[in-house]
Amino acid sequence: MVRPGVTTQEIDRAVEHFIRKQGAVPSFLHYNGYPASACISVNDEIIHGIPGKRVLQEGDIVSVDVGAYIGGFHGDCAATFPCGSISPEAQDLINVTRQSFFEGIRYAKEGHRLLDISAAIQQYVESHGYSIVREYVGHGVGQAMHESPEIPNYGHPGRGPRLLRGMTLAIEPMVNAGSAAIQQLSDGWTVKTLDGKWAAHYENTILITDGEPEILTAPVI
């Protein structure tokens, strides 16, 4: 549905409808008073954009973050999508953000520590000239949407708790094209870049196993 002429509210309604059709419940709706089922963040909005009457335009980049609760457990995932034809710069930001997740989860296995994942994400993102948002982080996810540990997208390898099979984690790099600084909007939710440059987000829920991590949410290609 990310295409010119569609409103972010229309996407949110479709997300909610799909989740409920599966017998699941939208995790975000009413969470700390959040008024929608998806977070939809456009261009310089990083995360937690509230769906509304905004009409998507050709060239926009649109981050859609969704959580669903079923069988006693939450899943949490996000990706940034192009609206029609976008600039090569915007596409590169999307690609690097997505790839940083996969660079990070190379370390998501027993024998490594949590911040090995964080450090790999940071290294990859910064080597491409982008910055990591620091105020918001990934997290454990399970019977609650936000569980310990916090999972920063930056840090020093060899630190943090040891990774053990059975852990379920939401790994979610938030990447700014310009500086890392953010601003919080007066709607109480939307987080934007301070410099107005664009941002991207990519998230999946993963399971630590005795081998490769299992990606529990359907990864966006």
Residues that bind Co ion (CB under 5 A): 76, 170, 172
Of the candidates 66, 105, 127, the residue with the CA atom closest to the CA atom of residue 207: 105
Minimum CB distance to ligand MF3 smaller for 32 or for 186: 32
Kindly state the smallest distance separating residue 62's Cβ from Co ion, in Å.
Answer: 17
Minimum CB distance to ligand MF3 smaller for 87 or for 143: 143
Minimum CB distance to ligand MF3 smaller for 87 or for 184: 184
**Distance (Å, rounded) from C-alpha 19 to C-alpha 25?**
6
Buried b / exposed e across 119-147, counting CB within 10 Å, b at 16+? Answer: bbbbebbeebebbbbeebbbbbbbeebbb
Of the candidates 177, 91, 98, 172, the residue with the CA atom closest to the CA atom of residue 130: 177
Q: Which does 175 bind (CB under 5 to 8 A by kind): Co ion, ligand MF3, none?
A: none
Q: Which does 11 bind (CB under 5 to 8 A by kind): Co ion, ligand MF3, none?
A: none
Kindly state the smallest distance separating residue 145's Cβ from Co ion, in Å.
Answer: 7
Longest CA span, the chain: 48
Q: Which does 38 bind (CB under 5 to 8 A by kind): Co ion, ligand MF3, none?
A: none
**Distance (Å, rounded) from C-alpha 87 to C-alpha 82?**
9
Kindly state the smallest distance separating residue 170's Cβ from ligand MF3, in Å.
Answer: 6
**Distance (Å, rounded) from C-alpha 66 to C-alpha 75?**
8
* Chain residues that interact with ligand MF3, rule: CB under 6 A: 28, 31-32, 34, 39, 48, 65, 67, 76, 170, 172
Minimum CB distance to ligand MF3 smaller for 86 or for 173: 173
